[in-house]
Amino acid sequence: MEPEEIEELEEPAHQFKLPLSDDRQDERPQPKGIWDFVREHRQKAIALVVIILAVRGLASLGWHLYELSLNSSQVEISPTKLPLAAIDTSLPNPKVLTIDGSTTMVGLIQRLRNAYGELNPNIPTTYGQPDGRPNGSNKGLEALLNRSVVLAATARPLNPKEAEAGIQVVAIAHDTLAVVVGSDNPFKGGLTLEQLRRIYQGKITNWSELGGPDLSIRAINRAKSSGTRDMFQRMVLLGQDFAPNSSNFITWPRDETTEPIRALGKDGIYYSTTSQLEEQEIVRIVPIDGAYPNDPAAVQSGKYPMSRNVYLAFPQPTSPAVKAFIDLALSPQGRQTLMQSGFMPMH
């Protein structure tokens, strides 16, 4: 009788097989560290990093484009090429020729007002709101947009918003920016444009860094409403930001010149237009790149780096009285007035 065949039973599914020999690795899963995970999933990790970087790049690009859209209102428009004879003067003359704008041009505008009054005695003029207190180029142009004045004197060209609103400008003179220190400041040297930029960005903070005494620099900045500040920021800082306000970096609350230069003392520095510094004996003009702002040859050749135009701005259409004021500024009599006020005629 043959022995019965014993049926081989399958191992239960839940059992683990024992290793056949001692040198076989344990097949049970082992705990993994973060780097094991990264090595095992290298391609997925790389793809994830690429996606994150791409998203960050798109976000950065989007923010940059957003900032550009905000800053586009600061892009300036060139002066009008419209011939003066073509200016639309269909509006009736105002009872008062109201003007506001640049504090830089206050002496010039006052002289032009006097000459205008002799030619047009029936039309009184004002400059500033109230009269005698001009509010700066930006505020003057705002007043012109709001039609609270009929003419604006501005130390900067128009931005797109102003141009789109029908405002026109005519360049009437050259002006230069000057950098000044107090007459008793022990620093007696000059500055380069780069050094001036670094002072107003808060990167040079002691006169000893410029060859002067060991004394902190107290930089005074013009008010935010100032067209002179706008041009300084554009020409000197190349559009970059000023240093934040501190005990050694002061933004003056009003757009003016006399009071800030009185506050210079032995450690201060300030900037203004050359025309505003006439007969100011309490300051010393600092040469920039070896040139002075009141040297016509240096300005015309471009050796002096901080020169600009000043303008009269008006709406279109305007009145014969406004055009007569512009004509006066550009006449031979006006040219003489410009030079008496410290400006250089356009031609």
Give 268-282 pLDDT, tens digit per residue.
999 998 888 877 889
Alpha carbon distance 158, 275 (integer Å): 22
d(CA 112, CA 125): 10
- Which range (7-11, 100-104, 301-305) has the least confidence? 7-11
Can 84-174+309-345 and 175-307 be said to share one CATH topology?
A: yes
**What 8-state DSSP symbol labels residue 290?**
T
Domain ranges of the chain: 84-174+309-345, 175-307
Instruction: Report pLDDT for 273.
Output: 87
Region 94-118: mean pLDDT is: 95
pLDDT of 85 higher than 90: no
Which of 153, 165, 160 lies closest to 275, judged by CA? 153
Please report, as a single letter, which amino acid is at residue 252: W
Looking at domain 175-307, which CATH architecture does it have? 3-Layer(aba) Sandwich (3.40)
Options 3.90.1150.10, 3.60.21.10, 3.10.20.30, 3.40.190.10; CATH for 84-174+309-345 is 3.40.190.10
The residue type of 307 is S
Q: Give CA–CA dist 220/33, Å, rounded.
A: 59
Say which residue, 8 or 139, is predicted with more confidence: 139
Mean pLDDT of the region 74-100: 78
